[in-house]
Structure 1
Amino acid sequence: MFIETIVILSVLFAAFLHASWNIILRNSNDKLLSMSAIALGHVPFGILGLISFGFPNSESLIYILASAFLHVCYMFFLLNAYRHAELSQVYPIARGLSPLILVLIGTMFLGEYLSKYEIFGILCVSVALILYGIQIGFKSRANLRGFYYAAWTGCFIASYSLVDGYGVRVAQNAIGYTSAVDILSAALLCLVLFLFNRETLLGISQHGQKTFWVGGSLGFSAYAIVLWACLHAPISIVYTLRETSVLFAILLAIVFLKEKITLGKTLLIGVLCLGVVLIKSSQ
């Protein structure tokens, strides 16, 4: 019971850290520059992680390579989604879709057992996020491309989540695995930017240093905690709790960006909290 409580609280803290760097992205005028700065900002912390905790074992290399590729795909689909729709629409849909995919794959093909409370809790979180994003989209009259890219972003989130959840179990080294994935992802991103958008790389060095360090530290810490949790709990549970970052993002936006409290946001917060309570009640 104690370790399950520690895992849940740790993942909720990771969700808060994740929401914090997303607020940085949300408040940015150049989202490609900010997202790239945050991704590259993982590197110094990844190097420190490898020095301190060592390299993951060779058996986990295939997972690291696959994860790095999927993370870069996720970034570019997310950015394309932002070009066609608002963050407040795209982000909940993408984040809500991934736990549903993970539950289906985990229970049907990978032998993960979930109680009825856990399944209902996951459904509460996922369906609430998706419906909230769709409602925002209709209200803002967003085009269908926004929904299309948001759905693909959710698929990539589920894909790298599944790969990382099992990869870290093979590695048995959460910090080392996170460090290796982040460094390789950053290297691939750098290559893509160098070939197709060198202005962004130059912009990071000139205007993105604060985002690099602050966003990088938040992002690295958040994902390292999530992968540590995957060593102790079902992958679908861990990543569902992580998606409560949307709850924290709403609260942070209300406090720091002075966004209004709406009925939709209030209902979403309530249902997300219900989902967390249901998941916790089964532990």
Structure 2
Amino acid sequence: MTAALLILFAAVAHAAWNVLVKRQGASGPVFFALVAGSATVLAAPFAIPLLVATQPPASWLGWALVSAAFHTAYMLLLQRGYRVADVGVVYPLARGTGPLLSVAGAVLLLGERPVIVTLTGAALVVAGVVVIGTASARPGAQGAGGSTERVGAGAAAHDAAARLRRGVIYGSAVGVSIAGYTLWDAAAVTGAGLSPLGHFWASLALQTLMLTALALRRTPAPRILREEARRHLPVAVAVGVLSTASYLAILTAYGFAPVSVVAPARELSVVLIALAGWLLFREPHPARRLAGAVVVLAGVALLAV
């Protein structure tokens, strides 16, 4: 019951910060440096005493560094994938392969032995996520007769094929990064015995440094950085609080349920985001989104058995 409540809270918080980002229209390393930085500052009074009092630096610094690298790679790969490929390809691949690889890694690397009901539930969650994600895929180009139209159709088909390849590459890479930080952070709090708050705070602090360095390299003018902060700081702070609370709930849930259950169950947030996309942003294909949501909920129900 505790794990279920933590996962539900995490899903609501995760969906909420995604809706905020969508409304704000903000992205890029500057914005996410503000997000990570604000969360780091706000959590510092609680996390630093806990981290210093319970763990020597040698025991947590390496864990935090690798975690930060995985989380930073996830953010950068996802944004890049959305720029060069279709969301309808990148999103379902990322959110589908992430939990799938996490379950496989939990079995192969963490020694978990999920029962058939758990594996079936995880498979249903992945399938439902793919159904929801492909609801936003755009239809392929179609040509009508004539040589000019055929040339145009051929160029459009070539462009569509290229975008599809890029979508598969980036979507899969994002899924690998999701599985990477899922398994690494789970091992940190369950195997190494690090506190969820202390471990993730150290990871956030390092993410802030990485993203800030990248933002300064790409945006050297201090004026631009100040302008971004002025425009997006309130939303960045809200996103930092919600995203941190969401992930801390997941890290805590690893103490009550195995990774092979928590990793796919946290995709419940995809259902909430899909419904928000339909109800708040009037995104298309509500029937497919609802069908995918039903499949995901069925999978989550099996995971709770």
Q: Same fold (TM over 0.5)?
A: yes
TM normalised by structure 2 equals: 0.83
Q: CA RMSD in A?
A: 2.2
Q: Does 1:215 align with 2:212?
A: no
Partner of 2:12: 16
Partner of 1:146: 167
Alignment check: 8 A CA contact 1:94 1:150 kept: yes
Q: Does 1:183 align with 2:179?
A: no
Alignment check: 8 A CA contact 1:74 1:156 kept: yes
Deviation at 1:159, TM superposition (A): 0.5
Of structures 1 and 2, the larger Rg is shown by 2
Partner of 1:240: 264
Partner of 1:116: 116
- For residues 257 and 134 of structure 1, the distance between their equivalents in structure 2, rounded to whole angstroms, comes to 17
- For residues 225 and 188 of structure 2, the distance between their equivalents in structure 1, rounded to whole angstroms, comes to 30
Alignment check: 8 A CA contact 1:118 1:237 kept: yes
The one-letter amino acid paired with 2:40 is: V
Deviation at 1:104, TM superposition (A): 1.4
1:151-190 equivalent positions in 2, closer than 5 A: 151-169=172-190, 170-190=192-212
- For residues 140 and 197 of structure 1, the distance between their equivalents in structure 2, rounded to whole angstroms, comes to 36
Change (3 A) 1:162 1:140: farther
SS, match of residue 111 in structure 2: coil
Identity of aligned residues (%): 26
Partner of 2:102: 102
Q: How many residues align?
A: 277
SS, match of residue 233 in structure 1: coil
Alignment check: 8 A CA contact 1:37 1:204 kept: no
Deviation at 1:26, TM superposition (A): 2.4
The one-letter amino acid paired with 1:26 is: K
Unmatched runs of 5 consecutive residues or more in structure 1: none
Deviation at 1:40, TM superposition (A): 2.7
Change (3 A) 1:172 1:140: farther
User: For 1:197-230, what per-residue CA distance to the aligned partner results, in whole angstroms no more than 9, with x for missing partners?
Assistant: 2466334322111122111110110111111111
User: For 1:143-165, what per-residue CA distance to the aligned partner results, in whole angstroms no more than 9, with x for missing partners?
Assistant: 22123211111111110111101
Q: Does 1:84 align with 2:84?
A: yes
Deviation at 1:177, TM superposition (A): 1.1
Among 29, 38, 43, the alignment partner of 1:46 is 43
Change (3 A) 1:91 1:46: farther
- For residues 34 and 254 of structure 2, the distance between their equivalents in structure 1, rounded to whole angstroms, comes to 27
User: For 1:28-87, what per-residue CA distance to the aligned partner results, in whole angstroms no more than 9, with x for missing partners?
Assistant: 434215444323332123313314633462423221110111111111101101102454
SS, match of residue 113 in structure 1: coil
Deviation at 1:266, TM superposition (A): 1.0
- For residues 243 and 188 of structure 2, the distance between their equivalents in structure 1, rounded to whole angstroms, comes to 19
Alignment check: 8 A CA contact 1:45 1:179 kept: no
Deviation at 1:265, TM superposition (A): 0.3
The one-letter amino acid paired with 1:42 is: A
Unmatched runs of 5 consecutive residues or more in structure 2: 142-159
The one-letter amino acid paired with 1:150 is: G
Partner of 2:149: none
